[in-house]
Structure 1
Amino acid sequence: MNAQRFYVGCAGWNLGREHLSAFPTEGTHLQCYAAILGSVEINSSFYRPHRQQTYVRWADSVPADFRFCVKMPKRISHVRRLQHCEQELDEFLGQCSGLGDRLGCLLLQLPPSLAFAEPFAEAFFVALRQRFFGDVVLEPRHESWADAEPLLVRHRITQAVVDPSRISGDGAPRGWQGLQYWRLHGSPRIYYSAYERSCLEHLAVELQAATGAGQATWCIFDNTASGAALGNALTLAASLRGEA
């Protein structure tokens, strides 16, 4: 799967009891998780900082081809609202740099109340790109961000494909096309509902069709509240490998 540059995983690496048999029995939860799935989204960084050494330890726990996506702190997205946050950017990037080459991308999720205005968005992305050259994923949740695509392309920012959809246009890849990132929260009950096998098989076909020459394609399950994410990730990963 990773040779095809598909990165399937969950928001977090909790291993529910009902799926333990799919994972090794020796090692930490992260080591066991990373032995089977190829990526994970770190959401805890949104709520609190982690020491650089913690990221180093996580990176040392996974195979060389495993990748982390790290969610940017809410102090940047929700408190500062992307303005005057250079110090917060420096602190966050210094911390997650501990992942080294296992840092796959950064996720920036915006509050629903944050409307798009090009001057402050441009200033933020310039500040970010002065500090970080890797892949960045944006999940906007205000309808006005539908007008931001030229800015995203200019700064190499991918807009996440989201389910359930929050704004028009987030049901298909937008922004910079060098990376594609699906973020699935569970439907119809957000964060709880599992996706049916038929839906996941259809998604596998869609992901394969959407993947162009050489770009990475991510699919992260965030329907973690009832443990559905892990089973969905295992099913999708198997389907992408061509397994029944």
Structure 2
Amino acid sequence: MIRIGTAGWSIPREAAPAFPGSGTHRERYAAVLNAAEINSTFYRSHRPATYQRWAASVPADFAFAVKIPKAISHTARLAGAAPLLDAFVREIAGLGDALRVVLLQLPPSFGYHEPTALTFFTALRGRLSDAVQIACEPRHASWFAADAEAALADRRVARVAADPAIAPGGDRPGGWTGLRYRRLHGAPRTYYSPYDAADLAALAMSFAKEDGDQASSWCIFDNTASGAAAPNAVALRSLLGSS
């Protein structure tokens, strides 16, 4: 199954016809797309009951990815963050079986430091069930070297394929091969630019080439500032069929 969704589940007015029916934006969104990335956790915590309510409002086969708080990734820079990590994992447990991916996005200034990375990913992996996968979006070129790639693979952490890419190879998934996680932020204007028909056709072809292996595949559109994410996600879903 290919998971296609957006950062959040907002439905811009222009995209409303693609999400018919009644109910909340989340309920209408989940009737069309099969995944969503929760980014609000980067800025603030939510009660377990909130996650439980979100999980109860979507179909049984719907999946959530949840972004790790910036207090861990940007302020603590992965070091000495065990209490924060414990609190985060307790909260997101409210999603139950709908929790499929935990996403770590690192600041551009955060270079690869093996002891810090291995300690953190070991701690994170030990707090999650085997059903929950880990994706990491580094934004410093050192994370794309062979030693970092090997370390991510060893800790079962997938490196995000991002657009725009910040280093050679950054547009392709890396690290652990059990998960392919793409985040499309919009280019040339990050968070705003829509992807045109040629871009989406090329993306669909990439998925087609990967068809048949055992990896989980996600594609999250993060070009939400202009409202382009939802229609892009729906268009890709149409190109791939009912994934």
The bucket for the TM-score relative to the shorter chain is: over 0.9
Q: Give 2:136's aligned amino acid.
A: L
Deviation of 1:215 after TM superposition, in Å, equals: 1.9
1:100-115 equivalences under 5 Å are: 100-115=96-111
Counting aligned pairs with the same residue, the percent is: 50
1:21 Cα deviation after fit: 1.1
SS of 1:235's partner is helix
Q: Secondary structure at the match of 1:64?
A: coil
Counterpart-to-counterpart distance in 2, 1:142 and 1:9:
26
Per the alignment, residue 210 of structure 2 pairs with 210
Deviation at 1:202?
1.5
Q: Which residue of 2 aligns with 1:80?
A: 76
Q: RMSD of aligned C-alpha atoms?
A: 1.3
1:68 to 64, 68, 74: 64
Secondary structure class of the residue paired with 1:138: strand
Can you list the C-alpha shifts for 1:74-122, whole angstroms capped at 9, x where unaligned? 0010000000001111100100111111111011000011111101111
Partner of residue 184, structure 2: 184
Q: Distance in 2 between matches of 1:143 and 1:215?
A: 25
Greater CA drift, 17-26 or 73-82: 17-26
Query: How far, CA to CA, are the matches of 1:66 and 1:161 in structure 2?
Result: 22
Question: In the aligned structure 1, how far is the partner of 2:37 from the partner of 2:109?
Answer: 24
What is the 5 A alignment of 1:140-151? Answer: 140-147=138-145, 148-151=148-151
Contact 1:182 1:220 in 2 (8 A): yes
Give the paired residue count. Answer: 239
Where does structure 1 lack aligned partners over 5 or more consecutive residues?
Answer: none
Structure 2 residue matching 1:124: 3-state secondary structure: helix
In the TM superposition, what whole-angstrom CA distance separates every residue of 1:188-244 from its partner, at most 9, and x where no partner exists? 11110000012101211111212442321100000000100011000000000089x
SS in 2 for 1:188: coil
For 1:46, the aligned partner's letter is F
In 2, distance between residues paired with 1:60 and 1:121? 34
Change (3 A) 1:154 1:67: same
TM-score normalised over the length of structure 1: 0.95
Q: Where does 1:51-200 land on structure 2 (aligned, <5 Å)?
A: 51-132=47-128, 133=130, 134-147=132-145, 148-200=148-200
**What SS class does the counterpart of residue 180 from structure 1 fall into?**
strand
Query: TM-score when scaled to structure 2?
Result: 0.96
What is the one-letter code of the residue matched to 2:177?
Answer: Q
